[in-house]
Structure 1
Amino acid sequence: MPTDYQPIACGFYDELEAIATRKKQVYLQYFNDLRQLCQGTTSLKTFVTRDHAEYAVLASGEEVRLDHIIRIDDTAAPGFAEYPDFRCGC
């Protein structure tokens, strides 16, 4: 995974903004800064830009770089379409 920020597709950004506006709970899969897979249910509060990279601020206060988002609910992020869904089917 590149370490330089890769801008995300405008359509996907629009989806993220709509989710944040509705304060909708979503299932989110993403890589953290240590490149570990993280997943869980959360809501998106807002977005911030820092050091030429965009971040989503989660309900917990954690910030996730937008180009590290793998999947939100059943929608794969652009660039991660072939990435497996690690959600537990239990």
Structure 2
Amino acid sequence: MNTPEPAYTPINCDYYDRLEAWATMRTVCLLKFYDEEGKEHEVSAVIKDLYVLNKAEYLLADNGLVIRLDRLIAVNNIPVPQSC
């Protein structure tokens, strides 16, 4: 039985702008995040897109990886602050 997805918590607005800038510049980013089970991962990828689905924000990487933004820990070793 699947447990329901926890409610989405928006990330800091300024940090979101930084993600958009890295995406626009096609910067290879070090993405540190938690998966659905709470396990920590770290991958290098270019941010291909940022989008909203079912009232949650997501990052699509060029390698096909999709990360819900409230699961991000840090990008390029810059910690993600919580809320706007």
| TM tier relative to shorter chain | 0.7 to 0.9
**Aligned counterpart for 2:59 among listed residues 41, 56, 71:** 56
Which is richer in strand?
Answer: 2
Count of residue pairs brought into register by the alignment:
78
Q: Which has the higher contact order (CA 8 A, sep 6+)?
A: 2
Q: Please identify runs of 4+ aligned residues in structure 1 that moved more than 4 A.
A: none
Gaps of 5+ in 2: none
What SS class does the counterpart of residue 43 from structure 1 fall into?
Answer: strand
Once the 2 structures are TM-superposed, how far is the Cα of residue 33 of structure 1 from its aligned partner? 1.6
Gaps of 5+ in 1: 80-90
* 1:1-90 equivalence runs, <5 A: 3-79=6-82
Give the aligned CA root-mean-square deviation in angstroms: 1.4
> What TM-score does the superposition give when structure 2 sets the normalisation length?
0.86
Alpha-carbon distance between aligned partners in 2 of 1:72 and 1:66, rounded to the nearest angstrom: 11
> What TM-score does the superposition give when structure 1 sets the normalisation length?
0.80
- Identity percentage over the alignment? 28
